[in-house]
Every structure is written in C-alpha cells, then in structure tokens.
Structure 1
Amino acid sequence: MKPATSLSSSSSPSPSSLTHFLIYAFVIYLTPTIISGGNETDHEALLKIKSLVTHDPYGALASWNNSFHFCDWEHVYCGKRHKRVTYIELESNGVEGSLSPYVGNLSFLRMLSLVNNSFQGAIPLELGRLSRLRFLFLYQNKFSVVIPANISGCFNLAQIGLSNNELVGSIPKEISFLSKLNFLSLFNNNLTGGIPPFLGNLTSLEMLSVKENPFGGSIPHIVGHLKSLKELYFGGCSLYGTIPDSLYNLSLLINISLGDNHLTGSLHPAIGGKLTVDFSKLRDIYYINLRDNLFGSNEPDEMKFIDSLKNCTGLLRLELGNCNFQGMIPWSIGNLSSQLKFLYLYGNQLHGDLPTSIGNLVGLEMLSLGGNQFAGNVPSTIGNLQKLKVVYLGENQLSGQIPDAMGNLSSLISLYLSSNMLEGVIPSSLGNCRNLLALYLNDNKLSGKIPTPHLQVSSLLVILNLSQNNLFGSLTAEVGSLDMLTILDLSDNNLSGVIPISLGDCGSLLGLSLKGNLFQGVIPQSLSSLKALVVLDISYNKLSGQIPKFLEHLKLEYLDLSYNEFEGANESALSVLGNSRLCGGIVELGLPKLYVWCKKLKRKSHISQTSTNKGFITVAYNQLLKATNGFSESNLIGKGSFSSVYKGTLYEDDGTFVAVKVLHLQIQGAQRSFMRECEAWRNIRHRNLLKIITSCSSADFQGNPFKALVYEFMPNGSLHDWLHSSESTSRLSLIQIMKIFMDIAYALDYIHGDLKPSNVLLDDDMVAHVGDFGLARFLAFISLYKNISTGIRGTIGYVAPEYGVGRQMTSGGDVYSFGILVLEGMTGKRPTDEIFKEGISLHKFASMALRDNIVTNIIDVNIINVYQEEAEVKEIKKEANMKTIIEECVASTVKTGVSCSMNSPTQRMDIKNVVLELQHILNTLQNI
C-alpha cells in the first residue's frame, strides 16, 4: 500500500497531507491484524499463555496454533464485531503450569475462567491491566503467593473466585476499590491478617465467603454496612470476640455461617437495656450456623435469643451445637418456622425439661439435642413431628418412660436415646417405625422383656443396641427375622435361656455381643452361618459344653468366650483379640487347626507359597527390593493403614513401571486378605479390571514375613485423587467422568468389587480400572463397629444397608456402591461429608434435588461449564439449547445414581440397564 500523498523532508506538510499521512500510518498499524484476520496482540498473548502450560492431558490447548484464526480456537470466544478475545473458559481440563503475564495484553477480556485445573505460582500482576474484566474465576487451582494489589485496576469486576488455592498473606486493601463487586469468594486458602474492615466498603457485595482461612482477629463491625449482602461465610477462620450488633441489620441475609471459630459472648437479646442480638430483622434467613464456638454467659436465660427468630419464617436450618450454651430452652422454640428441617443443639450445657412446644415444629426432619443435661420426660408431643427422620436425645439425664407416641414417627430412620435414665418397658409402638435403620436404647434403666414378637421394626434395621439395661427373659426365635441386622448388642442385661438357633438366620451380622447376661446351654451350631461375623463376645454368661470347631472357620477379629462354663477351658484364658492371639497356642480353645496352621506359617514364612498364588509367577523379596530402589520414599506413591504402594521397574531391560503393594502384616487379617485377593485375581481378565502381574509371599532379610502384590502401573492415579485431593495434577470434565462411570459399570457387570473412588484407578488414556478386592473391605467394618458401639451418627459410606461391610458381596450391593460413587462424582461430596449425618445422606441429598427440580444447584462447580457472558459471543438460541441439553444429561446421571443407591435392593437398577442408560447420556453429550 502506498501513501496517498508523497511528502518531502524539506517541506512542511499541508493539513491535507498530514491527514493522509495519519490515515496511512493507522492503516499500516492495522495491517497485521487485517492480514491475520484478528488482533495480533491477542494472538501472541494466547500463544504465550500456552507456552507456560507444562501439562495438557486432554489436549485442551491443542487447537492453539497458527492453523486457523484464534477466535476459532477451543475455549476461546471473541466478540462478533471487533474479533477480540472476550472470554476464556478453560475449566476442568487438567491443565498444569503457570499463568503467563501476557494475559494482561488481552485488553478486551471480560471473563477469565480457569476453574479446577492445576495452575500454580503467582497470579500475574498484569491482570490489573484488564479494565474490561468482569468475571475472574481462578478457584480450585494451586495459585500461591499473595493476591495482587493492582487487581483494583480491573475496576469493572463483578465477581472474583479465588477459593481453594494456596494463597497467603492478607487481603489487599485495593480490593475495596472495586465498587461493582457483588461476589467475592476466597475460602480455603492460607490467608492471614484478620478480616479487614475495608471489606465494608464493598457495598454491592451479595456473597462474601472467606471461610477456612487462618485469619484470626475479630469480625469487624463495618461488615454490617454491606446492606446488599445475602450470604456470609466466615466459618473456620480462627475468629474470636463477639458477633458485632451490626450484622443483625443485614436484612437481606439468607445464609450466615460463623461456625468453627472461637467467638464468645452472649446471644441474649438484651443486656443492660441494650439490644445485642435481634434476628427478627433477618426475615429471609434460611440457614444459621453458629456451631462450634465459645458462646455462653452463665446467665439462666441466655437462650432467650430464640425469641427473636420467630419472624424468620423461612428458616430451614439452625445449627447451634457445641457452643457452650447454658440455661433452658425457652417455650418460644415452638414458635420457630414451620419450615424448619434441621435443629442442632448437641453438645451444650442446656438443662431443664424439654419444652412440649417442640411438637409445633412440624417440618423437622432432624432433631439433635444430645450431649446436654436435659432432665424430665421425653415429651410425647414429639410424636406430632411426622417428618422426623433422626432423633438424637442421647447423653442427657432424661427419665420416665419412652412415650408410646414415638411410634407415630413413621419416617424415622435413626433413634438415639442412649445414656439417659429412662425406665419402664420398650414400647411395642416402635414397631410402627417401619423405616428404622438404627435403634440405640443402651445405657438406661429399661426393664421387662425384649418385645421381639411385637417390635416389628423395619426389615431394614441395621443396628440394635439395647445394652446396659435391666432387661430380662429370653431372646426369642423372632430375632432371626432381622435378616439385615449388622450390629446386635444386648450385653450387660439379665437375659437368660439359651441362645436361639434362629440367630443364625441373621446372615448380615458383623458384631454380636451377649456378654454379661445369664445365657445357658451350648453355643448353637447355627451360628456357623454367620459368615460375616467379626466381633463375637459371649463372655460372663453360664454357657457350657464344648467350644465348637466352626469358630475356626469364621473371620473373627475379636472373640471373647471368657467366664463361662465350657468343658476343659481355663476361664481366664478365653479372651482372644485378633488372629495374632488365635495363633498364640491357647490349647484350651480346642482349635487345633488354627494352631497348627499358625505354626506352619511361622516355619515356612521364607518359602514362596506358589499354591496360594496359582496362576501367577511369583517373585522374590530381593527382586522387589531392587525394583523399588529399596522401597524408598521417593518411590512411594500411596500409603494407608494396611498397605504401602511403590512405583518400580520389575525388569531392567523392560523399563515398564509397575505398582508394588506391600501389605502391613502387623495389621490383623492382612495375611488372610492377601490370600483372598490372590484368589480374586487368579483367573479374571477384563479391560476395566486392574491387571495383576505377579505376587510375592516370602520373607525379608531379617526373616520377617513379607507379602506383596504387583500390579500394572496406573499413571493417572485414583478417581478419589481426581475428585478430592489437593495434590491432584488434573481435573475431570463432564464427558471424562461419564466415561469413567461407564468403565466402572462394565467392570461391575463382570465381577463383584470393593467399590469406592480410591479403588478406581486410571491409565494413560483415562480408562478406569477397578481394583483392590481385599484389605480395604476387610478392615472397614472393624472401624465401623468400634464407632457404632460408641454412638456414631451418619452414613456408613459406600456399603449397602442390607448387609454392611463384611457380608458376602452381591450384585445388588455393588449397584448401591456404584450409585453412591456416581453421586459423589457429580456433587463432589463424599458420602461421609460433614453435612451428611444425623440421618441426612448423600442419596437423600440428591433425591431431594431431583424432586425439587434443582439438580444443577447441587452439582460440583467442576462439572458444568460456566455460561455467563457466553450469550454475547455465541448465538443465544444455540447457547441456551446446549445448556439445556447438558443440564438434562446431568439430571439423568444423578437420577441414575439415586436409582442405584435405593435402600431396598429390589428397587435398584440392574447393572445392565445402568450401562445402557449411561451410554445414552454419553452419546448425547458427545453429539452436542
């Protein structure tokens, strides 16, 4: 291109010539853009961003090259008119590296979303140049160092999400200059320096979350200036001092969470004539969480602040547990919202009678008042609460009888009345609670007979604990109808008669304790049917006869037969804790095969047991020692309570990596688990099952027994790491997780498995392989029983409710575990998450969302792409259609997870139908 007018260096340009020159210069400036079809600055910046990416497992940036215009690159969106980059969406793609400072050259950028990747290092200062930026989402990465102060240069910012990173230092004061900010999320970092008062200047804020940071300090009074605030999350910030009065003036608040701090002071509504607490202005509040703090004033009526909640007509959850509250619950608690579902006052110092007005809270699903000093009777008005699923009144001083009205609670799942002073008989009306899974009446003064014929509780009953009472009479044959029972504890009563033969029909039993009673006769042979039994305690009775030989075939880890009248037995010697004691030479037990087996084990521990591992070529200890560089820490890729896994190279000339799982043989049951796992892997072959290469049953150089299994190495780790671990190097997209679900379903259609995310391993191509059929399942129930016996509350986890952890595996149980895994993958929440307790489960959480048509509200933010601002760079119709399709697929996936995890095995989907449904969902997603 030539200039319109030639200019001589010796003459002054005319105005007309000057105009032409400027036009020429401008055209020359734009030439690279016109030639490339876009802005060269943006093109260069994007390539610079790509250059600092060190790992891109799914090829998210593969299209970022010179083959075609950058506006057509994947994850990049441009404005229709100016062809400048306005939106970068790079969520959940496993991208690792640092963020290039060249991002600051994308001057038209309005949204930057790098959510759920593994970007690390500092957030570049150059971001402060992006004056048009409205949305900055960098959460769930590994950004460290400090929040850059010059972020204030992005003066149009409306939303900032920096949560779940490794940021340090304090919140910069400059962030308070962002007058348009309505969303600020900084939770789960390492920020310190207190919650700064200048946050009160952000008067447009609607959501403020800084929870799970070690801030320290107090809550600044000026936070009460945030008149637009709807959600406030300050939990887990090591805060102290009192709650400022100004917070109660935030009339738009719907959610306030200040739990897990060191807050003190009274919540009494009026002290010295001054109003300090007044929830009445928070008319729209639906969630109040003040739990785990240090409130309390030693005043007899400090719970009177409950009065000011009566105007909060939408209140759904009130969590005030472990707060050091004293005094009595006021009658006005019955004036709380009829919508209230969750009332949590556990672990305070409350006393007096339970007010009968509690019966007015007809919306309650969970009532937790345990761990206090309540006295008097259990109010019969509790029977009015037809929606109650969990009642926890344990660890109080309640007396009188259990009211018959308890039988009106037809939705009841768990009833905890343990550790009180309740008297009288167990009411037969409890038989109306057909959905009951757990019944704890232990440690009371209950008398009479066990009403087994009348106590027709739910056929799904899993836990029955009636121990430490004054019950008498015999245990009748009807106990055998409780075929889903996993824990039966009748210890320390005055029960007599014989152990009923029908007890052998309770095939799901993991733990059975009859100790401290007056049982007579022999141990019935029918108990040999209890293949899942792990804990058996029948000590301190009057049992006689021979100790049966079938005990040697049970998988017992705790056996106590002491202080009975067995023939030829030393009374003080018959307490056996774990296999190591079974091998200790207690001849009086009359278990010669066990004893001989243990002696043989010790004598031949240095010999490779090829018969145990039929089908595998075993390797020696020294081979594995060399393969793993002496089992060095640098080769350690995973460690648990019962095994350690090392990366190694088995054959030097091969160079192929393997995973060597070394069992911790000091753990009870590890030896048997090794044999069981070898048996499981002997003849199976499937694309989605973990491939075992060889095994080792030998001794180390000190003569100690050594056992290990050698597996094909899975370079992409476990599904658990991808879903939860902060060390995860990659994240999962919706299509990827759907493919993983498909792989797992295929595996379960082939074989039973111990299914949970940590047992799902991923290869180079992200193909899922199910593995570990042994030790994890074996020891889970030990912890389960110990926790349950002390009053555990909440979900067991992945285990189907009909048989617990130890029962022989069935396809129905596998489907249940798979359903929980699907829901965990979609919601990002473990089944043992803190919110899932007191009868609230992951399954129920998801099913309620389906019922209320709000599935997208519970989906992990890592799963669904963010669509904000996308309408500006795509056709609105197309974008809306795509969003609808994805939401429908997500809802169908959650529905599948819910259908698989139904309590009743007969209501669960068949695994073959699961495969078909998931395949349909995956096809739909891939065809968008």
Structure 2
Amino acid sequence: MTNFLLGGNFFHGSIPTYIGLTFKTLQTLSLGKNNFFGRIPVSITNISGLNALDLSDNKFEGQVPINIGDLSNLQFFNLGGNILGSNSTRDLIFISSLTNNSNLRTFAIDGNNFGGTIPKVLTNLSYQLTGLGMGANQLAGTIPEGFGNFFNLYAFDMSSNYLSGEIPSDFSKFKNLQFLGLNQNRLSGEILYNLCNVTTLFHLDLSSNLFEGHNIVGNILMNCQNLQELDISQNKLSGVIPPLFFEMHASLVYINMGNNTFNGSLPLEVGKLIHLVVFNISYNMFSGEIPPSLADCLDLEHLRMEANFFHGMIPSKLASLTGIQEIDLSSNSLTGQIPRDLGKLQSLKYLNLSYNDLVGEIPTSGIFANASQVTLIGNHKLCGGIPELALPTCPMIKPKNNKKSKVIVVLSTVLPVMVLAIGTIFLYYAVHQRRDRRKKDSSTMHTGGEKLLRVSYFELKHATAEFSADNLVGSGSFGVVYKGRLDQHANRVVAVKVLDVQRNGASKSFKAECRVLRNIRHRNLVSILTYCSSIDSNGHEFKAVVYEFMENGSLDMWLHPESAERMKSRNLNFHQRLSIALEVASALDYLHNHSEVAIVHCDLKPSNILLDKDLVAHVGDFGLARLLPRNTISSSQEGTSSSVVLKGTIGYAAPEYGLGLEASTQGDVYSYGMLLLEMFTGRRPTDAAFVDDLDLHNCVKMALPEQVWKIVDPSLLPEEVEQNRQIYQVDAGDEDIGLSGDINKVQKCLVSIFQVGLGCSQKSSKDRMDMKQVARELHLIRDAFQRC
C-alpha cells in the first residue's frame, strides 16, 4: 500500500505506535480533518519513502518526533490545527532535522501551542519551499532575517502570535509571494518601504499590530498593483488616500483600514473598485461628503464608515447596491433625510445610522420594518417609522391656503402675540440653558471627564488570544469574562465580558450595564473602560463590556476555595472581611443615596464583588440594574406589583421579588444582609443544611449572642477558641472556658456584625436597615475592632 487516505471523515482514536513498522512503503499518509488524538508515534519516521504527511485538524498533542527529518523524501508536511507543543522554547527543536530535506515544499504547523522564538534554523529549510504557515501559536520575539531567500515562496503566515520588532528588510526580496499574513502580533515601526517590490502580492494582512507611519497608502502600498485583499486596520497609521491609489488597484476585493487615524476626504475614484466586496474605513478621521460613486461598486456587500467626520446627505445612489448586506454610517455628522430607496435593498441585513443629525420621517418598508436590524438612536430630529422604534409621530402638514386676505387678517392678529411669546420663551430658555450648562458641567466633573477607549471586535479578539479558554476567568447569567491585554492602549490588562446575544435578556442586560456604569464613579464600583457593539468575523452580532481587570478575582473565590491548597493561599482574615463588607456597603450607599438617580443593583452576591491587587472590593455586574426616580424611593416602601420578573439569584434575591414586586433599594439591602452573613459564617444561603424553615438568617439569629462561635467560619476562629472548641460548643456563654479579654472583644464585634446582617435580611422590607445606617454601623464596629 502506497497511499493511506482517510481525510475529512469523523474517525477518532490514536495512531498505532507500530505504524512505521507496518506500513514502510507508504508514500502518502493523510489523516486530516478527523478526531484523532494522542501523540505522533516516533515510529512514523521509519516510513522512509513518505512524501506527504497530513495530520492537520485533529487533536494530536505532545511534541513532534525530534527526528522527523529522517523522512528525507517529504514534500508536504502539515500538522496544523492540533494541540501540539507546550508553549516551550524547545517545541520547535524538530525543525533542525528538516533542514537536510531538499524536497520540502510545504511546511505548516499553524494553530497549535508551539512557543518560544522563531529559530534561525528555520531559514535553512529547502529553498524550494512554497508554503510556510506558523500562525495561531504562542511564538514571541522577532522575525529573523533570511526568509527572503525563499524565492519560490508564495504563502507566508505568521499571524496571531506575539511577535515583535519590525518586518525584516529582506522581505523585499520575495519574487513569487502572493499571501503575506502578519496580523495580530505586536510588530511595530514603519512598514517596510519596499515591501511592494513583490509585484505578485494579492493578500496583505498587517492588521492588529503597532505599525505607524504617514501616507503609507501613497508611498508604500501604491506599488502593490495586484492586491486583491488589503487589511491594515488597528494600527497607528495616518495620512490621506490619494485618488490614484483607487485607479491603480481596480482588482481590490477587500479593504480594511479601520481603527487608524487616516484623514482627508474619500476620493470619488473609489467608484473604480468595481469588484470591491468589503470596504471598512471606520474609526478614522475622514471628512467631507460620502462620494456617490460608491454606488458604482456593484459587488459591495459590507460598507463600514462609522466613527469618522463625514457630513452632508446620505447618497441616494447607495440604493443601487443590490447585493449590500451591511451598512454602518453611524457616529458621523450626516444630515438630511434617510433615502427611502434603501428600503428596497432586499439583501440588507444591518443598517446603522445612529448618532448623526438626520431629520424627517423614517421609511417603513424593507429593512426599516425590522427594528432589530436598524439602529437610529442619537438622531433627535427623526420621527415616524414602525412603532417598535418608539419615536414621535411626524407632524401633519396642513394644505396651503391661497386666499391672501385671510392670511393678512391672521398675520395682523397673531403676529404681535407670537413675537411677544417668542421673546418670553427665548428669555426663559436662555436662563435655563445656563442652569442646564452648569448641571452638565457638574455631571462631567462627576464622571471624571474620562473618554471611553475605542476598541473593536478584532482588537478584543486579539487581546484575549481569540477568546481563548486559557484567558477565561469567569461566567455569568448572560455571558463569559476573559482576561485580555489591549496592545493599542499601553498593554492595559482588562476584563472583557462577552455577552451571549442569543440568550434571552442579554441585550437588555448589556444596555442596562452601559447605561448605569457610564454615569457613576466610586472607588468601590467596577469601572467600565468601554463597550463594543459590533459584528464578529462570522457576521454575527457581538456585544462586550470592557472593565478594569481585578487581579484577585471575586469574593466568592476567596470565601469558597475549590481545594485545600487554595484554601491555604486564599483566606481572608477578620479585618479583611470587615473592610470588604464596609467597602461594599459604601458602594451601595452611594448608588442608593448619592448618585444622580437612585440605582438598584438587583443581583448583589459574592461572585459580583471583585477584589483588586490590594483586596479592595469593587461591586460589579450591573446587568440587572434599575434606575429609579428619587421620589419613588422610601425605606418603608413595600413595592407595587410589576410585570417585570427580576431574575436575581436564589438565596440573595429579596422575598418580595418572588411575588413580582418592583425593584427597590430595600431589595439590595436584603441581598447585602445575606452577603454579610455568608462572609462571616462561610456558608452560602443555599447550603444543603438549610431545610424547611431553617435558613441562613434564622441559623444566625438562633445562635446570637451566646453561641456565636458555633456559626463563625472555622477559618476565622482564633487559636485560643480552637483549643477550647469542645467547651464552647457545649456552652459558649460560660465564662469558665477561660477566653482572654481580647477574644471576648472579637466576639462582641462578631455579634455586632451579625446583628447588622440580620437587620438587613428581614423578611419584610419595611423592617430592614438602610445602607447609610449600615455603613455607619460598620464604621463603628471596625473602629472598635482596631482598638482590640
């Protein structure tokens, strides 16, 4: 048997260790796109006549046999799409054995866990090499010189690694290169000025790096005359796009220049790109009017021009783009009416015209009949449309009256009154405008005047290593949270909460969280850095919120460690727990009593309390939060019936929420009470020991004050109490057990803390404390403890 072809099936299992001893005459071994797992047998190197080895897209792991180069006739070598390697500097040691193979044409190890730096010996592979793929690994360091000697190379892919430095100067020596992928790395400096000496290049992807430079489109890319796909997005590039560039690159199919600082107007010559399918120049500084000639790009499917400075009207000619699927012109300065003919575009699935200055009536046909596919917010002069848009109805236009006499009579009667009324209104608004300006200035100061970071889906994807499971730090009701590093923002470490938009209520949660966090500032609240509402690489809706990263995770992880080892390293002492309890109380007091509108968190629990590097508490996850007018808040308010079902979390949600009553600050107080009791007992409200009428509240209540040591988290027990454990379990109120005065003071502090917890977790909302009182009580308890 000379060929063993099993590619593209659903086979699974491991490769027999004896394969190289049994099939010595094989020339082709193709097992790609299956579910094989395990290690690559060393015996495979005994198949001396093998010229094609394809193990791609399986689940092979471990290291590549170090003597794989014994396959001296090998021409095709593809191990991509597995989990090979261990992110180690020795992962690529096997490459040295391949340098004696003069027949090698394809070398692909992309999509694995190979780490370390790119070995210089890689440049000694056969100069007959046509394809080199090492993307989506863990490679770091610089790209060595020497690859320019591969004169036959047509595909070079080092994307999605951690490479740094500049593009090697010998890349200009490539003669036949067609595909160059260096995207999603940390490459920097200016783009190689003679990169486009490679006249055959048709795919160039330098996106998501740190490249900088001015007018690279005219000075560098102009000579890449056969380009079909160009992506230089998410860099630090600037300058204008010269009209000649579009004239000389009519073959372009894909252009992405988004997230840079390009400026100037968009030339009319863009209409020369008759094969263009994707055009993205979003998040730049382009200005001028949108050229109507874009309508000449009849193959266009995705048009993204958001977050620029375009002005003027939306060209009605865009309605001739019959294949268009996505149009985003949001966050510009566009004026005039929405072209009605856009409703005739049957392929259009997403239209975003938000945050412009559009006026007039919204069409109701085509895409405008589906509120989930159209975004128009931030255009305060629009009216009409379908009811789901919830916009005001357009004013009725009354027919003209041609009788001059009636006009004269009406004017002579009404005009003086109107002048007087307008003058009065003008004076009124002049006074109130000053007052509103003061309020606005005050509000700006309140938010710190901070500008949101500008991030896109692709930047978040890169920051989290393509939302890798290794960066997963937690999950919640509506999504998952990843740790990420924003290269474009000084390597800032962030937490990225990615919403599961398919989950019912996720979009509502996203809006609630953005609305609440953008208007509040407090040292014990999680700070929102930015949010992203976009389309992912598969064309699906993508929503994420980006926060400060909290190094010490959630309070839940500290209160309930998963293992004994973690319990030793993660244990909060009495003082730390008391400080955290006070910080959370301070945050809730601010939300309830000191923010511009009263804010109800609605889902307070340990997993939503995050701890920074100094173990300072920050309340997070406002996905269920409610904004309430001040005049509806009362410490004794029982609430009214509501059709809104508050999901909350069992054990922490106030009892009245289960009856369908509306959110109130007293609901948060209940949740806080249960949280406080949990912090000092170490027991969740949903502990299996709580059955029938026994719950955490009643358990603590029955133990106070004499039996307090029975209910305290064992990790908080002083050594002296631990030694007398058998005695105090019998009668903790007996003074003969011999506890010292300091321990008795700690006991009093504990009793006071538990009393606050009980006062917050009363079944009736009118009997509960308020957060201002809670914060004050805990301050007194902490002061007393520090004097112990």
- TM-score by length of structure 2 reads 0.49
Which has the bigger relative contact order, CA under 8 A and spacing at least 6? 1
